[in-house]
Amino acid sequence: MSYPISSSLLDGIVLAVVERESTYGYRITQDVQKVLDISESTLYPVLRRLMKDGCLTTYDQAYAGRNRRYYQITEHGRAALRQHRIDWQNYRSGIDTIFFGGVNE
């Protein structure tokens, strides 16, 4: 069963991936795809939104005779990611309580 991923969760996921290592669009998609089925949504709008919010910046790097656009996280992006992690933990423990009863503090 696949659960639809909200756009804000997707933001958090992309930020987490970029925080680990500044990388390029195709790589981000592949990393996320390893754990999540996101064929329903393309990542370009997510990246663009994060850039507009100041959570990500881009830089170009030459690779194999062309320019490749890399994405990297900003301080603002790190702060947003911290919030995303907290939100996710709250959300997850709520669902866990309903599914499995009792939450380990």
Cβ at position 56, least distance to another protein in Å:
13
> Taking CB under 8 A as the rule, does residue 54 contact another protein?
no
| Binding footprint of another protein, residue count (CB under 8 A) | 19
Distance (Å, whole) CA 80 – CA 49: 13
Distance (Å, whole) CA 40 – CA 43: 10
Radius of gyration over every alpha carbon of the chain, rounded to an integer in angstroms: 16
The footprint of another protein on residues 17-46 (CB under 8 A) is 24-27, 29, 33, 39-42, 44-45
The residue (of 16 and 38) whose beta carbon lies closer to another protein is 38
The residue (of 29 and 74) whose beta carbon lies closer to another protein is 29
The residue (of 63 and 91) whose beta carbon lies closer to another protein is 63
Element (H, E) at 21: none
> Please, are residues 84 and 25 in contact by the beta-carbon 8 Å criterion?
no
> Taking CB under 8 A as the rule, does residue 57 contact another protein?
no
What residues make contact with another protein under the rule CB under 8 A? 24-27, 29, 33, 39-42, 44-45, 47-49, 52, 66, 68-69
